[in-house]
Structure 1
Amino acid sequence: MMKIKRCRMFSRSFNHVILAICITAFASGCMVILPTSSISTNQEPEKIVDRIEYNANRCWSTLHQPIHSDIVVNTYTIQNGYKLTASRKEGSTPQYPFLHVTVTHSTYGSEVSVREGEFNLGTDLNLSDDVNRWINGDNSC
């Protein structure tokens, strides 16, 4: 009788471990952020970051998304330039960033690299296209 209980307990805990592994693998697979573009420009990094941040806050907050969530844009100073991230806001807290824009100083201006992942479980917003357009001076949404 005791062996049967132990087997059931082992079986349940084993199932919980397998479930946890599957959830972790699924969640981490959804957070893959791939490089989407890299641009060299003769513009100053400060101007590029200001333009991207302004347009992102103006345009991305009005997107009609499949799940009603806001997009939070944050800008950080890094060693050789700036980093801008976009995160999905669920409730009152931003989630893991799904878009990273890095703007660094170069000898002739700036280097801009964009990496974008899925917005929410398979939803791809293609926001890197907006970033590339804004870098080239087109401020449309």
Structure 2
Amino acid sequence: RTLSLTPELWVGDFDSMPADLPDELAAVPRQVFPAEKDKTDGELAIAAALERGATSLVLAGAFGGKRTDHAFLHLALSVRLAEAGTEVLLTSGAQEGVPLLPGKAGFDYADGMLFSILGFSDLGGLTVSGAKWPLNHVEVAFGSSLTISNEVKGRLEIA
């Protein structure tokens, strides 16, 4: 309701669904799965969206909730989806994430906006421009905090 959108389809086990849904949401079609299953509700929802022809996804609530393990999974799934050619935006409403693949990426964010680059492996020859702390062909070890909490200054380019 915060986004003023009505879903086309709800997917999951609905174990955390409030009982007092507004009428417009109660009427949304559902694909119901058992609570004990081999995939998360998020993974099932992504599969349903792709089956319906989605070529880009916004994973609303990807970082929210009480389950950090689900947030980590959403990060990993977003990389897999990007590798398969699907555009992905993860959001909590307050924070956003975009999977970056090898190559170049550019972003038109507001000056002063904080951003971080979280590598899931060593990052070889990382270049960042349009940032308060630019990098030029830097080797970044897996687990390094070097790319955390930078600030946009112009068009952000990452390669």
The structure with the largest alpha-carbon Rg is: 1
Same fold (TM over 0.5): no
| More helix, by proportion | 1
- Report the TM-score, using the length of structure 1 for normalisation: 0.23
